[in-house]
Structure formats: structure tokens, C-alpha cells
């Protein structure tokens, strides 16, 4: 993330995203697959990183070895062709997009960090500082109900941030600048969806 200044001199928090270029590797239609979708690939890699079935799949569309493949459902497949390159030129400044990605993993965390529980008293001999307290009743029901907020793994979940506005586009470098934050850390893979 960084910030840019508008004409009035206000600082706008933005995130710089590198989008594409993505190559269409497969087109699915209703007659053969039961639904309409296109599969896009991103980031060329050495063929040693791919399996033979993956290489054979990419050879059908006459594309280079691609590291990431993602399927996107579409309303119409008429505007797409195998090997077509999708770039940021399809986007416009000012439009709203949804950005999906996996949030930063925090590991196994406690109650206060994960669920914002308040802590216990820190003085007068209290031994309940960061403990959870009671987790349920006694003999009845005699168990802990499912979904109880307890310590556990935090983060590394798929998150979608909606209605992020495109501030600027650099089509030469395949860079899009959006207003606000996106899920994931620097270098993680995201997907965008236009309105």
C-alpha cells in the first residue's frame, strides 16, 4: 500500500496491483460441460514445475507453461478465443471492482487476538489474565456447543473486499491502482471481479 494525492491535495490510501497479462487456456460451453466459463492462466514458468497432464492441457490451447490457472464463469463465451490475452486495458478509471484473495495467516492465536475478548483483572492475586473463562454450563448440557468462540487458527481465509474504486491504470506495466486495502500480503495471488 501507499498513498497518492488528488487535485485538492487530499491523501488517498491506495494499493498497487499488478494484473495480468492473463491468457485464456480453455473455454467451457453448456453442450460439453453444462455451464459457460473460461479458464485463464497467469505467470509463465519453466515446464519442470508442471506435471505432464498440465503440460498436455496447456498444449491444447498452444500457450506457454503457466503457473496459475483459474476458472471464471461468464454469461457469454462469444467474445473469447483460445490463446486470447486479457490485459488491464479492459478496465476503466473510476469503475468499482471486487477483489478476492486469502488473508494473511496469523497462526494459532488466543481468545483476545482472535475474538477481541476482554482480559481478566491484572492485580489482587488474579490468575485469570488472558484465559477464556467459562465455556459452558455444567451437567446440563454436559458438553460445549459447536461454534463456541475459542482459540484457534486465525487468518488464511478467503476474503472479498467489495466496491474498490480504480484510481489509475498503467497499461504498459499492467498495473492498476485501487483505493483502499486488499486481502493478502505482498506478492500473493488475487482475483478481481468487475461490476
pTM: 0.83
pLDDT digits (tens, 9 = 90+) for 74-101: 999 998 999 899 999 989 999 999 999 9
Q: What is the pLDDT of residue 23?
A: 93
Instruction: Tell me the mean pLDDT in the region 102-117.
Output: 95
CB 76 within 8 A of CB 145: no
**What is the pLDDT averaged over residues 37-41?**
95
Helix/strand/coil percent split, the chain, to 5: 10, 35, 55
pLDDT of amino acid 26? 93
Q: Which domain holds residue 169?
A: 90-124+150-195
Which of 34, 35, 38, 37 has the alpha carbon at shortest distance from 25? 38
| Residue 98, in any domain of the structure | yes
Are 189 and 162 within one domain?
Answer: yes
Q: Indicate whether 20 pLDDT > 90.
A: no
| Same domain, residue pair 52 and 94 | no
Task: Report how many domains make up the chain.
Answer: 2
Residue among 75, 86, 78 at smallest CA distance from 35: 75
User: Which pLDDT score, from 0 to 100, does residue 54 have?
Assistant: 93
The answer to whether 120 and 129 have CB atoms below 8 angstroms apart is: yes
50 in a structural domain: yes
- pLDDT above 80 (res 151): yes
Residues 55-83: what's their mean pLDDT?
91
The pLDDT, as a whole number, for residue 61 is 86
Contact 17, 178 (CB under 8 A): yes
Assess whether 75 and 158 both reside in one domain: no
Average pLDDT across the chain, whole number: 93
> Is pLDDT above 80 for 195?
no
| pLDDT > 80? residue 50 | yes
Amino acid at each position: 500500500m501507499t498513498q497518492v494525492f488528488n487535485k485538492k491535495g487530499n491523501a488517498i490510501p491506495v494499493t498497487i496491483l499488478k494484473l495480468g497479462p492473463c491468457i485464456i487456456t480453455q473455454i467451457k460451453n453448456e453442450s460439453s460441460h453444462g455451464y459457460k466459463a473460461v479458464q485463464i492462466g497467469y505467470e509463465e514458468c519453466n515446464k519442470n514445475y508442471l506435471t505432464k497432464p498440465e503440460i498436455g492441457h496447456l498444449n491444447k490451447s498452444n500457450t506457454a507453461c503457466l503457473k496459475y490457472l483459474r476458472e471464471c464463469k461468464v454469461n457469454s463465451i462469444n467474445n473469447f478465443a483460445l490463446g486470447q490475452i486479457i490485459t488491464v486495458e479492459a478496465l476503466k478509471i473510476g469503475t468499482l471492482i471486487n477483489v478476492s484473495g486469502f488473508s494473511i495467516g496469523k497462526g494459532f492465536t488466543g481468545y483476545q487476538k482472535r475474538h477481541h475478548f476482554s482480559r481478566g483483572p491484572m492485580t489482587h492475586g488474579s490468575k485469570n489474565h488472558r484465559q477464556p473463562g467459562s465455556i459452558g454450563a455444567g451437567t446440563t448440557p454436559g458438553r460445549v456447543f459447536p461454534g463456541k468462540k475459542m482459540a484457534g487458527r486465525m487468518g488464511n481465509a478467503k476474503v472479498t473486499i467489495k466496491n474498490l474504486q480504480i484510481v489509475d491504470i498503467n497499461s504498459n506495466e499492467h498495473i492498476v491502482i485501487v483505493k483502499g486495502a486488499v486481502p493478502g500480503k505482498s506478492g500473493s495471488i488475487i482475483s478481481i471481479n468487475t461490476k
